Each structure stands twice: as C-alpha cells, then as structure tokens.
Amino acid sequence: MRAFRITGVCVLLCLLIAPAWAAEGAADVTAANVAADGGWASYGGDAGGQRYVAADEIAPDNVSKLTLAWKFRTGALEGKPENVLARTAFEVTPILAAGSLIFCTPYNEVIALDPATGDEKWRFDPHLPLTLRPANQYVCRGVAYWKDRSAPEGQACSERIFVATNHSRLIALDAHSGKVCNGFGSRITPGMVDAGPDRLLIWPGEFQITSPPVTVHNVVIVGSSISDNARTDAPSGVVRAFDARSGEPIWTFDPLDPNNQEPGLAKVGAANVWAPMSVDEERGLVFLPTSSASPDFYGGGRPGNNALADSVVAVDVESGQVVWSFQTVHHDVWDYDLPAQPTLATIMHDGKPEDVVIQATKTGFLFVLDRDTGKPVFGVEERKVPQSDVPGEKLSPTQPFPVKPPALIPQKLKKGGSWGVLAFDQLSCNRRLQHYRSEGLFTPPSLQGTILYPFNGGGANWGGLAFDPKRDIAVVNMNSMAHVVTLIPRDKVKGEKETHEGAEISPQTGAPYGMRRDLFMSPLGLPCTPPPWGYLIGVNMETGEIAWRKPFGTVRDMTPLALPLEWGVPSFGGPLVTKTGLIFIGATMDNYLRAYSTETGDEIWKARLPAGGQATPMSYTWKGRQYVVIAAGGHARAGTKLGDYIMAYALPEKGKADKD
C-alpha cells in the first residue's frame, strides 16, 4: 500500500503537469479590482496570484479555535464508472464573486454556493463526455469572473463566470443564475466557443484545458494541457484570446511560431501554457508560464534553445505581442516546464520597492524578474552543464542558475548517496545508482538511464507559491524525489512495452527514441532519495535568502498503520498566507489542512479532512466573518481518498462559543 501510494503521486506529478479593449463605455471590472474586504476574486486570490488575505480575524493566537463552519458535497462522483473515477482529481480553488462562492468540479460542472452557509444557489452542467480518457485526468482548477461596466446594472450576463473545459470549450455563464450567455459564441453553440487544438488528435483526451482562464479589460484568455511524449508533432501550445462579450477571437500566441525560433526547427508542438496565468491590469500584460516543446526527452528534431518554450512570457493583452520573455531552461529534455502561476509581487530591493514576477520551477529555483523588463533582480548566471552522448542530440552548453534565492531543495544524488530504511534497502539503491548517469541538475537523458533529481514533478508544481507583502516572504511547497529516465531506440520500443507491461513507456513517435520513466525506488517501495520528500519553505524576498525550511507532511495515510512519521511527503496544491502571519495549506498525502507561522514555519493548527486535500485553499470575509475553504476530493492516480467535499472553517460565531 505504501509503495503504491508514493508511486501514484510521483507519476501524477510527472504528468503534470487591438479589438480587445472596448472603445466605448467605461472600463470593465476584472478580478484584479474586486477583491476588497478580504475577498478572493481570482484563482490565485488576486489577478497576480499572491494568495494573500488582508482579513485579520483569524490570527496565530486564535487559530486553534477554528472549527468546521459548513461543508458541501457536489455529488459529482455519483454514478461515474470506475474507469472515469480512476482519472479524476479535485484540484479546484473556489472564488468569491457576484455574492457567491463559485467553483467547478473535475467534470466542469460549475456550482455557486451561499458564502455563509454553503447552500447551493445554482449549478451548470456542460455534460462533459466521459469517454475522453484525458491525459492529465479530469481536472478543473477554477473559474474566472468578469464584469461588463458598459452594460446596465442587473442585466443578464453583465457579470460572467468563464469556465474552460476538459473537452476544450470556453463557456460564459451569468454569474447570478448560472445560465449560459447566449450573446457569447454563435447561434449554433450559444454560450460557448471552441478553444481546441490546431490538428487532429490521436485520442480525444490528448488535448484539454485544466487551469482557469484569465480576464483583463474586455478579453478572456485560455491556455491548454497537452499529453506529453506521445509524438513530436504534438498539438500546438497556442494561447487564445477572445472578446469577453461576443466570444470572437482576438489574437493567438504560439510560443513555437517559426518567427520566434532558431532556423531548422522541425514540425513540433506543445510549449503550451497548462499552468495558471497572471494578469497585470494596469500594465495591460498577461504573464504566461510556458512548457517544453515536444517531445519532452529528446530534442534532436528541434535544434537551438526553442526560444519561448520553458519561459515566462509577458504578452500585451491588446495585441498578443511579446513584450519580454525570460527562459528558465534552454532546449528542455527533462520535462522541466514551468508548472506554476507567475506571482506578481512588490518586494523591497536595494532599499526601495520593485514590482517583480516570481516564478517557481520544477528544478527547485525561484526566478525573480523585473515586471517591466524581465531582467533578473538578483542576477542569473549561465553555468556549464553535462552534455548528451545520445546520437542526434545537441544540448545548450549552459543553463541559467539564479544567484539568489539559492536552490530550495537538493539537486544532485551522489554515487553512494542513496537512502534506505534498512541496510539492504540502501545497498540495493546504491548498486543501481552506480549504473546510471547522475551528474547533478541537467544531467541529460541517456540510453543507460539517467537520474533526474529533482524529478519531473518538482520542486514546485501547479500549486505555486504565496507571497506575504507585509513580511516580504514567499512561501512554497516543494517535492524532493528522483526519476530514472531511459531512452529506447525506436526499433525496441514495442518490445519494451510488451516485456514491461506495467512500466511507463512512451513512444515519442517521430523521434528516433522512445522513453521509459521510472521512480527511483527501493525494493521496499520507498524512495531511494533521502527524506524529506516534501518541504514547506519560506524565502525572504528582500535578501533572497531562505528564511526557514521544514519537512512537509507525514506518512500517516500512506501506510497500513497510521504512523505520524514526519518524513515529508510529495504534495500538490499550494499555500495561502494571511495578513496576521498564518499559512494555510493542504496538499500533502496525509489528508490534513494545516496552519503554520509565516515567520517561523512552525505548525500551529491542523484539521482532518474527509478526503485528500490536493487543492489550494482560499479565504474570504462574509458579513464580518472570515472563512478558510478547501476542496477535499483526493487524487485518483496519487492514491489519496476520493471525495466531493468543499470544507469551510471559521472561528465560532460571537455569542455561540460558550453555548457550543
């Protein structure tokens, strides 16, 4: 059981993975400017993804009194066949908009709740096909809100909720009723537009949308999630912008447009934006975290650095033109794509405030970039890295390493440095390690097998980070495990799949090599890498130094016995931080929502969840009472308990504490 659950979560994390502005009338309202009074109007709290709550009712001195205020069950799992449940993950973060708490289920049903009671107000069901077999599971991380200030107050669809679906539709709903906005899209498909791929799919779930759209001015923008390693000519990772009123296309941005690439690029795809995006409304910019070009582990057919892949890209929301970009990995053959929302923050630097973009990465780095230029705030060095011995592959001789902050997790597994709970376990891991390439970060995939450490699930993943502007601290949870990636000559791929039926072997069709990806695990089913396997980390953003680092999570729900061993475990989902100095986070494999001190990283409260809390919590104030809310629905591939809960916690209501 323990081996299955650790293996499940790691496999999951590896897969993780001009007319735009109205000329008439007043400006519209986006999520950036409606999050007043302790609100949470965007997936990341505000449009810049800080996940910061200004409300101050819940504080370190009273957080121990938090209790369950209400819970809601979506019913989304009822009647679903086992093959669908086996592809389900409840990763959503609700938003507070139009007087309701609004979120989506893994099957893109959109539900609005009363913020005080959790009672259902309305529900929309897009009747998502259950035959998709989505490559990245049935997932919906959130919805987006937009208000049209040029429309009469109270008019239907003057306030809208946008949801992007697993079958690649962008749907506009009235925020007060949940009914589709008929003026959006066409008469044939009222209320929705097609945001699908640019080429035929191998199977229906090869292309999907898992993260929420973003809205800015009169524009709604969507990315996509595309299956890894199926083929070199994967679907394009085009980002699409639509008119928020009509649904008319405005612009597209393709990170692999030939105009942005080095000469000689073959027909490849992806470099998509599967993680959440961020918006700076004042600057008119949307910040895109792009992924790697296809396929992930062999780049011989895509020479050069692949320009805008694996990059933070600032795009003008009016034209779709690139304002600046910064690449975090050159010519990626490690699946080290950007998995997290770029966080827009203002930090103190050299004694004065500076607007920045903080990008968390799978490699364990935080890149801190000037928001206007994309230049690194603390400096970045190009350092020599190991080179490939695979015929046809030519890597970048250097990779970018931030001067500050330092790497937040280990990045090299030295020969003889494996871990084991027993002596024979450790010995077995070390013997295997001798046979693999393991030269530290950016050791390339090989025919003999290569240790990728951190593994493709991070470092950071889609949960990203939270930023406390009062204390200038960024908080991020990171994973610390390893993969073995082995390239397989084309003529041997079929035989390998037949011989090793349960292994993850992908064809990378169109490349001369397929690939096999295995967790670096011991005979007892535990990681060969030393614990902690999960960290919670606070970074001082004024100095660029690590403020504190703690093991994150226990193995309690990963073993037959409820052992509360604090070894740190893999996690997905992210943190929120509060004005009062609290961190709230679920994410781990042991089914808890926890509160920590922002200043020290010490745990000071936790509540048992009825299912896996692999989601990012949110917080809001409603009628003078502050709530902390998390989706508890688990992750099928991770082996955590499935469920359909929205859980809300609050301090006892005044006057009722004594009676209770």
Q: Which two tokens stand for residue 229?
A: 């390693």
User: In sequence order, what are the residues at sequence separation of 6 or more whose Cβ sits closer than 8 angstroms to the Cβ of residue 493?
Assistant: 505, 507, 514
Which of 457, 426, 452 lies closest to 362, judged by CA? 457
* CA atoms within a 13 Å half-sphere pointing along the CA-CB vector of 539: 27
Q: Which two tokens stand for residue 211?
A: 């993260």
Name the 3-class secondary structure at 274: coil
Q: Which two tokens stand for residue 112?
A: 């609005």
Whose tokens are 């975290």? That residue is 289
- Rounded CA-CA distance 331/304 in Å is 6
Query: Bridge-partner residues for 346, per DSSP?
Result: 355
Whose tokens are 């080095």? That residue is 262
Give Cα 641 distance to the centre of its chain.
20
Looking at 174, 228, 254, 335, which residue is catalytic? Answer: 335
Whose tokens are 């004005």? That residue is 579
Question: What is the largest distance, in Å, between two alpha-carbon atoms of the chain?
Answer: 74
Instruction: Judge whether 465 and 360 are in contact, CB under 8 Å.
Output: yes
Instruction: Judge whether 405 and 545 are in contact, CB under 8 Å.
Output: yes
> Which amino acid, 308?
L
Instruction: Judge whether 319 and 18 are in contact, CB under 8 Å.
Output: yes
User: In sequence order, what are the residues at sequence separation of 6 or more whose Cβ sits closer than 8 angstroms to the Cβ of residue 64?
Assistant: 604, 605
- Rounded CA-CA distance 535/186 in Å is 48
The pairing of beta strand 504-506 with beta strand 534-540: unpaired
In the chain, % helix, strand, coil (3-state, to 5) comes to: 10, 35, 60
Instruction: Judge whether 94 and 102 are in contact, CB under 8 Å.
Output: yes
What's the Rg (C-alpha) of the chain? 23
Q: Is 280 a catalytic residue?
A: no
- Rounded CA-CA distance 143/631 in Å is 14
> Which amino acid, 385?
V
Which of 86, 193, 97, 197 lies closest to 143, judged by CA? 97
Q: Which two tokens stand for residue 323?
A: 């304002």
- Rounded CA-CA distance 643/633 in Å is 4
Instruction: Judge whether 43 and 141 are in contact, CB under 8 Å.
Output: yes
Other CB atoms within 10 Å distance of the CB of residue 465? 27
Whose tokens are 């949470």? That residue is 40
Give Cα 243 distance to the centre of its chain.
25
Instruction: Judge whether 336 and 456 are in contact, CB under 8 Å.
Output: yes
Strand order in the sheet with 625-632: 67-73, 645-650, 625-632, 618-622
- Rounded CA-CA distance 346/121 in Å is 37
- Rounded CA-CA distance 437/415 in Å is 10
Query: End-to-end alpha-carbon separation of the chain, Å?
Result: 40
Supply the residues annotated as catalytic. 335
